[in-house]
Amino acid sequence: MAAKKRCTVICAAPEQDLEFIGSAVRESDFLVCADGGCDVLSRIDIIPDLIIGDFDSAESNDVFPLSERITLDTHKDDTDTMYCVKECMTRGYREFLFLGATGGRTDHLLANLSILLYLGNHGAHGVIRDKYNDIMMLDIGDNVINVDQGTTISVIPFGSAFAELSYKGLYYPLSHTKVTVEYPYTISNESCGDEVVITLHSGSALLFIVNNIGG
């Protein structure tokens, strides 16, 4: 079983804020690099516990010689990040943080969002975090979110045709409202206080907690 509670996966998106990534990593994390993510950590002198990839996007495949390494075939079904998730779930991890998983190729971003859905469907939880957003799947039932007043909150159905939602503590409330994939108008809501309750009655949806930087 995992000795450390959280697994943090460093991905290789090209638009990186190295200072932010360094501040988001906890010393207690089990730290995994997905392929070129090892180049990110090499620039901020943080040593990973595990490196996984086919190293097609890494500048150098010989950094961190003392870290555990799993080398993958370039011809495979899983992305490097998905392989990291599956491997670490076999080691007992159920809480995941993904850094460097946004920016760059949009198809890679969508694949990473799908990993959040995969985790939720397999009894685990993931957060994709960058300088501007925390992105996660909503759980069925009440989701209690502690934020600063005025925080921007968006919800988008994902993985199902619609999501049935109720809101408390947001400027625009909802009550058992079906929001469809083709018309996700639940964008840019705002917290009225420091606690928001989003109830997911049915379906599945992504939650975006947005840091209000740049409007």
Where residue 157 sits, what CATH number does that domain have?
2.60.120.320
State the residue range of the domain holding 89.
6-135
Of the candidates 75, 94, 96, the one whose C-alpha atom is nearest the C-alpha of residue 32 is: 96
| Among 2-6, 21-25, 32-36, 67-71, the least confident range | 2-6
Same domain? 130 vs 91: yes
Better pLDDT: 12 or 113: 113
* pLDDT at res. 215: 41
Total domains in the fold of the chain? 2
What is the chain's mean pLDDT, rounded?
90
* pLDDT at res. 213: 58
What is the rounded (10 degree) CA torsion for 116, 139, 88, 211? 60
Same domain? 105 vs 128: yes
Phi and psi, residue 191, nearest 5°: -75, 135
Same domain? 77 vs 122: yes
Whether the pLDDT of residue 200 is over 60: the answer is yes
**Do residues 120 and 110 lie in contact, with contact meaning Cβ atoms separated by under 8 Å?**
no
Instruction: With respect to residue 39, please indicate whether it lies within any of the assigned structural domains.
Output: yes
Better pLDDT: 160 or 72: 160
- Each residue of 95-150: pLDDT tens digit? 999 999 998 889 989 999 999 999 999 999 999 999 999 999 999 999 999 999 99
* pLDDT at res. 205: 97
Last residue of a domain, one of 135, 165, 197: 135
Q: Mean pLDDT throughout 170-195?
A: 95
Alpha carbon distance 63, 196 (integer Å):
43
Same domain? 75 vs 167: no
Same domain? 23 vs 82: yes
CATH number, residue 34: 3.40.50.10240
Same domain? 122 vs 188: no
Better pLDDT: 37 or 94: 94
Same domain? 127 vs 29: yes
What are the Cα distances from residue 150, in Å, to 130, 166, 172, 191? 19, 19, 12, 5
CA Rg, the chain, in Å? 18
Instruction: With respect to residue 29, please indicate whether it lies within any of the assigned structural domains.
Output: yes
Instruction: With respect to residue 111, please indicate whether it lies within any of the assigned structural domains.
Output: yes
Last residue of a domain, one of 116, 135, 154: 135
* pLDDT at res. 56: 63
* pLDDT at res. 135: 98
